[in-house]
Structure formats: structure tokens, C-alpha cells
Structure 1
Amino acid sequence: MLETINFANIPAFLLIMTRILAFFATLPIFSYRNVPTKHKVGFSFFLALLMYYTVPIPDVFIDGEYFLLLFKEAAVGIAVGLLAYIVLAAIQIAGGFIDFQMGFAIANVIDPQTGAQSPLIGQFLYIITLLFILAVNGHHLIIDGVFYSYEFIALDKFLPWQDESWILYIIQSFNQMFIIAFLMAVPIVGCLFLVDIALGIVARTVPQLNVFVVGLPLKIFVALAVLVIAMTFYIMLIKNLFETMLTTMRGLMQLFGG
């Protein structure tokens, strides 16, 4: 077995493993705290070992340019994984919009995956999104995207830093995330806006009724009812969001590859 391994290409293997480690540091599902760090490193090592025998390996030598290539590999993995996470974060942004109208914004929960505070409805929808991705083998497609990144961005090729198209692409993707979040929040936020209008009319016509006492539980009941009704609509949006995440990753890698 040792005779089949070319130890002269160990620097190339380190480049492959650096990109995969950077991917797993920011990609959804793989980057969460629930996955132990030892498992991430071990999985990255064996995945890099498989890719070492499948992707084209150039002749790489340890010199001053090699450390720049290491930095480039880490930057590619972090940038593409972070962009995928930003697109998927539209779920939590939509949950924040909904919680603000429901009155749940006063209480957040700790997201065990990231350790950050998350809105209640946003965390609920985000868990459904992760379950949907796992149910349709979306994590396999993510790994597939990591594999095909070597077709767009070669190991010995630097990124086109002078080209501003990838910066504009990231800004456009960030803008798209807010549009998706707004579309997801519109059904519930719109219904709650109508409830606010109805409560305002009731407060003017029936001054004896304390709308501040009645309004909060009424808005919570209406929001949960609409959430149950619109769950099919949300599943369709989650499907489109996952497809958007994959196409966004591929588009950024194509821009990086020139």
C-alpha cells in the first residue's frame, strides 16, 4: 500500500484537506456544534484521501507560493460555505419577522447548532428545514458540491481578486436572502397586520374592551393557525431555498474559477 502512495504529492493532499476543512467549518449541517470536532477532522481526512485519487493533482512544491495556495484554499472553503449558510439563514430572518408581529420577539432561544440566540418560530422552521435537507439527502448534494469545486477551481490556480463580479454576486445573494425571508414571512405577517387593524377598529367602537389584554393571545392564536395552514407553502419555499443554496454555491465557484 505504501508503494502506491506518492509522498512527493503530500503538499497537494494538504491543499485538498485545507479546502475540505474550511468547507466543513462553515457549511450548514456539517459545521454545527452537535458534530464533534474530531469527527469533522477525521471525515475531512478520509474525504480528502478519496479526492486525492479522483481529482487532477498538479505538481506542487513547498515554497513561498505554496503558503499563498493554502490561504487560497481556506478562503475558497470559508467563502462558499459561508454563502450557503447565509442563504439558508433566510429561514431565521423570516422567523424573526414573524416573532416580532406575534409578540414572541421578547423571548429568544439558544440555537444548539451555532450557540447564538434565535427567534422561536425561526428556530422551529429552521429545524424543519434541516430535517427536509436530510430527508432528501441534501447533505450528499452538499458533499457533491465540495467534490466538483475542484473542477471549477484548480489546486494550483489563484483567485481572480481583481475581478469585482464575485463581490457583486455575494451582495446579490445576500439581497436574495432577504427577499426569500420576506416572502416566507408575508402570509403570517399580513394576517397579523389585519388583526391589528381589526383590534384598532374594536378599540374605537368598544372602548370598554381592553384590546391590550385580548390582542396578544388573539395574535398568537391567529399566527399559529395560519402557520399550520401555510406549512405546505413553507415546504415548497424550503425546497426552492435549498435549490437556491446549491446554485449559489456553484455560481460563486464558477466566478472563482474565472
Structure 2
Amino acid sequence: MNLESSQILIDIFNNTDLYMLIFVRIIGFLIFIPVIGGNNGVAMVKIGLAMAISAIIFTSGNITEFAYINSIMGYFMLILKEFFVGAIIGYIVFFVFSSVYFTGHMIDQQMGYSMASVFDPVSNTQVPITGNLYYFSLCALFILNRGHHMLINAIFYSYKSLPIGKAYILGNNGLFFGIINIMIEFFKIGFLFALPIIGTILVMDIALGVLVRAVPKMNVFAVGMPLKVIAGLLALWVIMPVFSELYYRIYNVISELILNSIKVMMP
């Protein structure tokens, strides 16, 4: 270990209270982000990653002086505030990614897959098959296009705009309306992903309705269900090449929502 590394460790040891405040914001952020959030990944790896990022931020020079009531309760309240700042930023990403599960519910209901759900170990719930396909495809594109770099940059930027202990959370009307805006984007993205397949199946339903009028004795349920599944799978296969375009829309939405949430929490 060289002299510079030793000096960094000494500085961290002498400023343990400051380092812990940085650490809890980072760990709150890492808990919720996709790919490694929730039950994904190894807990020790996430803790080690949080400690490494905290050490980099600690030595970056972006941390300003902070003050709190000189008591255990005062420091504890500051820890809670820093954790919520990181959790809010991380949960924005998680919430936007989860919109594809909403898409999957709508698609599976139209295709007849609503009963064939799978268990998601992250949320400990049953999730739709199509939604699971979209979610993991989105995670893969996010990593391949270095979306995780954007998230790390966002958490670094948060220390410039939101110094330790300065975030405005309780009674913040701007943050409340920001959460409502996140929910609006959740439904917009969900409908955007589902619209091509739902539109295809709607055309199929109209065609079946016309066919039933022309051939009244035809068993529409025996014919319609397999046709819906085939049409849905074909539509899914057709739109997969343009999935990356939808990803860039989500990427831009995440960047905008994170930036807005940081701005509304600024003192």
C-alpha cells in the first residue's frame, strides 16, 4: 500500500461520521436500481461497491462542510435524510423499469397468457411472461449502452446540488408533484410498449367479429384463442428490432426525472 492510499484511509478514519453519511446515500441508491437492486446480486458485493464509490466521492473534493445537532439523534436524523435522498434517486430508475411489467400485464391479458406468470425473486411476486422478457431485455440494453455510467454520474452530481444535510424532503410540494409525474410516465411508457401488440390483437378481434357474422356456426373461441397467440407472438417478433428506440426514450425519461427530483430537493 503506497503513501497516498494510506493517507486516504487515515482521512476516512478521522472523518468516519462524514464517510458514513456518504455511504448511506450510496447504499440507499444501490438498493433500488435494477440489475443489482433488491435480491439481485450478492449483498457483500453491493456493500463493497457502495464503500468504493463512497471513498471516491469522499476524496473528490465535492463534499462541503455539514452541521447537525451534536447528539446521537441529530446524527441519526441526518443519516435518514441522506438515505432517503439516495433511495429516491434509485427508486425513480426502478419505477420506470417496472413500467414494462405493466406492459406485460396488458399484453398477456390480450394474448391469453395472463394465467402463465413466473415468480420474480426481486419483488417476490408473480410477474407476466412478456413483462419479464421486456424487463431483462431492458436491463441488458441499459448495461450495454453504459446506462450505469449515467446513474453513477447522477449520484456524483447530487452531491454538488444537494450537499450533505441540505436536501429538502419533508413538506416538499415539488417532490410530491414530481412523484405524480413519475407515475404519469410509468403509464405512458407502459402504454407505449404495449400499443403495437394490443393494436394487432384488436384488428384480429375485429376480423374475427366479421368472420363470425359471415359464418355463424363457427366456434370463435376455438379459432380465436390460437390466432390471438400467433398474432401476438408475430407482432412481438416484428417490434423487437425497434426495441432499442423505445429504450432510448426510457433512458431520456430516467435522466430527466432524476434531474428534476434533484432540483426540487435543492434548498
Q: Give TM class, smaller chain.
A: over 0.9
Structure 2 residue aligned with 1:18: 24
Number of residue equivalences: 258
Which residue identity does 2:105 align to in structure 1?
G
**Quick check: 1:23–1:80 contact (8 Å CA) kept in 2?**
yes
Match of 1:5 among 6, 11, 29: 11
- Determine the C-alpha separation between the residues in 2 that align with 1:75 and 1:26: 11
Structure 2 residue aligned with 1:39: 45
Structure 2 residue aligned with 1:52: 58
Secondary structure of the equivalent of 1:139?
helix
- Stretch deviating more after TM superposition (36-45 or 111-120): 111-120
Which residue identity does 2:15 align to in structure 1?
N
- Stretch deviating more after TM superposition (3-12 or 42-51): 3-12
- Stretch deviating more after TM superposition (10-19 or 168-177): 168-177
How far residue 160 of structure 1 moved from its aligned partner, in angstroms, is 4.7
Match of 2:192 among 179, 183, 202: 183
Which residue identity does 1:250 align to in structure 2?
L
- Stretch deviating more after TM superposition (198-207 or 88-97): 198-207
- Determine the C-alpha separation between the residues in 1 that align with 2:82 and 2:253: 24
- Stretch deviating more after TM superposition (224-233 or 120-129): 224-233
- Determine the C-alpha separation between the residues in 2 that align with 1:158 and 1:169: 15
Structure 1 residue aligned with 2:3: none
Secondary structure of the equivalent of 1:71?
helix
**Quick check: 2:66–2:164 contact (8 Å CA) kept in 1?**
no
**Quick check: 1:84–1:246 contact (8 Å CA) kept in 2?**
no
RMSD value over aligned CA atoms? Answer: 1.8
Secondary structure of the equivalent of 1:104?
coil
Which residue identity does 2:65 align to in structure 1?
P
Structure 1 residue aligned with 2:104: 95
**Quick check: 1:153–1:257 contact (8 Å CA) kept in 2?**
yes
Unaligned runs of 5+ in 1: none
Correspondences of 1:10-159 after superposition (within 5 Å): 10-54=16-60, 55-60=62-67, 63=71, 64-159=73-168
**Quick check: 2:85–2:167 contact (8 Å CA) kept in 1?**
no
- CA deviation digits over 1:142-167, x for unaligned, max 9? 11211111112111314253330110
Match of 2:241 among 214, 232, 245: 232
- Determine the C-alpha separation between the residues in 2 that align with 1:59 and 1:75: 17
- Determine the C-alpha separation between the residues in 2 that align with 1:112 and 1:160: 31
Secondary structure of the equivalent of 2:261?
helix
How far residue 120 of structure 1 moved from its aligned partner, in angstroms, is 0.8
- Determine the C-alpha separation between the residues in 2 that align with 1:186 and 1:205: 29
How far residue 50 of structure 1 moved from its aligned partner, in angstroms, is 1.2
Unaligned runs of 5+ in 2: 1-5
- CA deviation digits over 1:7-39, x for unaligned, max 9? 442101000000011111111222142311111
* Percent identity of equivalent pairs: 28
